[in-house]
Chains A and B, each alone.
Chain A
Amino acid sequence: MNEHARQKRDLFTPGHYGCPGCGATLAMQQTLSVLGEDTIVVMPAGCWSTLIGIYPYTCLTVPVISVAFGSTAAIAGGVKAGLTIQGNDHTTVLAWAGDGGTFDIGLQALSGAVERNDDILFICYDNEAYMNTGIQRSSATPAGGWTTTTPDSALKVQKKKNIVEIMAAHRIPYAATASIGAPEDLKGKVKKAKGVKGSRFIHLFASCPTGWRHAPQLSVEIAREAVRSRLFPLYEVSYGDEWKLSPMPDKVGVETYLKHQGRFKKMLASDHQDFQKQVDDDWLRLLDKCRP
C-alpha cells in the first residue's frame, strides 16, 4: 500500500489556484508526504503564496506563514529560534521559496541564515522565472530562455546561477538537487535532510507549463528530461566538501528537452550547439567535483 498516497490527501487539499499541470504543487506534495504533520512552512511571495488559496481559506493543513519576498530564510530562522527556546526541537521548519525568493531577492537572508547554520530546511522550488508576477526573468532563468523581460528581441544572455555551489561555499551540512521527475530520489533526499541538524538546502526542479509554454501533461516528463540531459543533474553536497552524484538514467542530448518548450522556440540552431556545449562543460565540471 502506498502510504504516500494516503498521507498526501491529508496535508494537501484540492481546490487551489495552481495552473493545470503545475510542477510546484507536485513539489510540495512530494515534500510534505515525507515531512509529515510536524512541519511549519514559511513561504514568501511567489506562485505558492498565491495558489495556496484566498483568505480565509488554504489548501495546506500544516501551519503556514506567508511572508515578504526577501525575508524567507530570516523568518524561518526566527520561527526555529522561537520553537527551540520553548523546548521544541522536533518540528521541521520548512522554508519554501521559489527561484526569485532564493536566488535573487532572498539570497542575502539565505546566506545569512545558512552562515549561522540556522536549523532550517530551505527548499527552492525552481520554475526558472518570476512566474507569479507574469513570467519575468530571474537569475535562475537559463540562457536563451524567453521571459517577458527577456523577450525574443532580447533573450537572456546570462547563464543560470548555480545556487547549490553558493550553498556549498557556505559549507552547510547538506545541500542537494532534486526534481519532480525523480520523486523517489526527491523523497529520499527530503528524508535524509530531515534527519540532519543545521542548514539544509534542496534545489528542486519544478516544471511550469504556463511559463515554459509546454503541454501541461508533460510537466513530469520534462523534469525527467532535464535530469537525463544533465541540464539539471542530481547530486548532493555535504559540508561543501563531499560531492556525490545521485543515480540517474543515461545521459542524452538536450534536443528533446528544448523542443518540448515554447520558451526555447526562438533559439537558433547554432545556439542549440552552444547550449549543448555549456551543459556538457558544466556536467564535466560536476563530475570532476564528484571524483573521490
Chain B
Amino acid sequence: MKKVMMGTEAAARAAKLARVQVISAYPITPQTVIVENLADMIGRGELNANYMPVESEHSALASCIGASMAGARAFTASSSHGLAYMHEMLHYASGARVPIVMVNCNRALGPPWNLYCDHTDSLAQRDTGWIQYYCADAQDVLDAILIAYGVAERALLPIMINMDAFYLTHTSEVLDVPDQEKVDIFLPPYQPSTKLNVDDPKTFGNVCGADLFTSIKYKRHCDTLSLEKLWDETSAEFRGHFNRLHPTVEAYQTEEADVCVIGIGTGAGAMRLAVDRLREEGLKAGCVRLSMIRPFPLEGFKRAIANAKHMIVIDRDVSFGAEGIVAQEVKAGLFGHHGDAKLTGFIAGVGGNDLSADTIVPLVRQAISGNGTAVRAGKTYWAEVLP
C-alpha cells in the first residue's frame, strides 16, 4: 500500500508491523515523532504493546533489555545525546545478547547545541558491539527495521538502524507499506530458547573469571562477524516477499571507476548525482554507500569498490585528533587488500550543512588536483570552515 510518510512515521509503522511488544523511550528531537506515533497507536488499540514513558534514555534501553530478557520483542529510539546517555547500556545489551532493534536519528552532539545531521553520535558507539545500519531513504528505514528483527533474533545481537536527522526524520516520501499478513510470515513472533524463566531458572551476567571471559567475547565477535552474511540472507528472504533489496553495501557505477566516493546515509544520494556530473565531465567516478558499518561488510565492500584506486570519503562526523570515522573504517578495510590505494578524507555536511552535487563535485576535484577550498587539518580536509 502506498503512503506518504516521514522517516520517523515509517519507523513507527515498522515497529507496529513487527508487532513489538514493549516500547520504552525518551523523547529527543528529531526522534520524537516515532514515540508520539507509537503512543497513539497503542492508545487506539492498533498495537498491542506496553509503552513505558521512562525518565531517561539510559532507562529506556535498560527497560528494553529487561523486556527482551523476559522474552518480549522490544523497541526503542533515540538520537545524539540520548544515545550517548545510554552508552553504558549499549555495551550491556550486546553483552547480554538481546535482540533489540533501536532507531537512532543521527544528530550532532553538543556543545554547541545543534539539531542537524551528524553521524558522530552512532559512529562513536561502533565499539559497543551493536550492529549498525545506515538508511538511505524512508523505505529503507521501514524495511530495515523488519529485516533487523529477523536478523537480531537469529543472531541474538542488538541492531541500531540509523537515519539522518531531518533529511529522513522529517522529510516525507512515498512509501510502500507492506501488509501485516505478509510481514507476519516473514517475521514470526520472538520465541527465545533462553530467557528469564521461573521454570528454567538461570542467573544471567554474573561475574566471570579469566577462564571463560575471553571465550565469551570471542564467540560474540565471531557471531558479529557472521552477521554480514546473515543480513544478506535475511534481506534476500525479505526481497522474496516484498521485492526490495537492502544490501550491506550499495555500489553505483563503480565497475570501471578510478575514483570512488564513499559515504553513509542520505548523503549518498547527492554523491550519486555528483558521480553523474563527474562522469559527464569525463572522470571515471563511482560511488559506494556503506549501509552497514558494524560488522564492517568487508566482502561486500571489496566487491563494491572494484578496482578504484582513489577513495574519497565524505564523513559527516569526525573522531577528534584522528580523522573521519568512515575514512578510518575504509582504511582498515582496505589495509592488506588495496594497499596501494589513495584515500582522501573530507569532513562535510555537518550541523545543517547540506550535501549536494554542488558541494561534492568540488571536493572530488580537490582530492584529485589538490586545489580547493576545503581546509586541511591532519589527515582530513574540512569543508564549510571559516577562512
Contacts and interface: CB of A to CB of B under 8 A. Distances in A.
Most buried by B among A42, A63, A118: A63
A75 B96 CA distance: 13
Contact of A49 (B24, B89, B198, B206): B206
Interface in A36-77: 37-40, 42, 49-50, 52-56, 58, 60-68, 70-71, 73-77
A38 to B, nearest CB: 5
Given A81-B22, A82-B22, A74 B58 contact: yes
A85 B204 contact: no
Contacts of A55: 206-209, 212
Given A56-B212, A64-B203, A108-B56, A74 B66 contact: yes
Tell which of A52, A74, A111, A116 has the most Cβ of chain B within 10 Å: A74
Interface stretch (B67-75, B274-282, B316-324, B376-384): B67-75
Interface string B52-66: 111110111011111
A91 interface: yes
Contact of B198 (A52, A77, A91, A116): A91
A143 interface: no
A64 B204 contact: yes
Contacts of A74: 24, 54, 58-60, 62-63, 66
Contacts of A52: 203, 206
A240 to B, nearest CB: 19
B110 interface: no
A164 interface: no
A222 B56 CA distance: 39
Nearest to B216: A55
Nearest to A91: B198
A74 B85 CA distance: 14
A85 B198 contact: no
A25 B104 CA distance: 41
Nearest to B92: A68
Contacts of A85: 21-22, 48-50, 67, 72
B329 interface: no
Contacts of A38: 198
Interface string A111-134: 111011010000000000000000
A66 B206 contact: yes
A101 to B, nearest CB: 12
Contacts of B196: 40, 63, 65, 79
A63 B201 contact: yes
B197 interface: yes
Contacts of A53: 203, 206
B212 A81 contact: no
B2 interface: no
A158 interface: no
B256 interface: no
On chain B, which size bracket covers the interface?
A: 35 or more
A65 B203 CA distance: 6
Interface in B198-225: 198, 200-209, 212
Contacts of A60: 201, 203
A68 B206 contact: no
A78 B22 contact: yes
A86 interface: yes
A258 interface: no
A246 interface: no
Interface in B298-333: none
Nearest to B204: A65
B35 to A, nearest CB: 15
A202 to B, nearest CB: 20
B88 interface: yes
Contacts of A118: 52
Contacts of B66: 42, 65, 67, 74-82
A65 B205 contact: yes
A38 B198 CA distance: 6
A218 interface: no
A32 to B, nearest CB: 12
A79 B62 contact: no
A52 B204 CA distance: 11
Nearest to A115: B55
A34 B55 CA distance: 31
Interface in B36-54: 48-50, 52-54
B207 A109 contact: no
Given A38-B198, A81-B63, A85-B22, A54 B58 contact: no
Question: Which of B59, B71, B88 is packed against the most chain A CB atoms within 10 Å?
Answer: B59
Given A54-B206, A60-B203, A91-B198, A65 B56 contact: no
A215 interface: no
A273 interface: no
Nearest to B59: A74
A63 B209 CA distance: 21
Contacts of B56: 108-109, 112
A67 B62 contact: yes
A40 B70 contact: yes
Contacts of B203: 52-53, 58, 60, 63-66
A162 interface: no
B96 to A, nearest CB: 8
B212 A79 contact: no
A86 B52 contact: no
Which of the listed residues B53, B65, B196 has the most CB atoms from chain A within 10 Å of its own CB? B196
Contacts of B21: 82, 85-86
B55 A111 contact: yes
Given A68-B88, A71-B59, A78-B65, 4 more contacts: A60-B201, A63-B198, A78-B63, A85-B21
Interface of A: 37-40, 42, 49-50, 52-56, 58, 60-68, 70-71, 73-86, 91, 108-109, 111-113, 115-116, 118
14 contacts: A39-B198, A50-B207, A53-B206, A60-B201, A66-B207, A68-B88, A70-B58, A71-B65, A73-B59, A75-B65, A77-B63, A83-B71, A91-B198, A118-B52
6 tightest CB-CB pairs across the interface, nearest first?
Answer: A78-B66, A112-B55, A82-B70, A78-B63, A82-B67, A82-B72
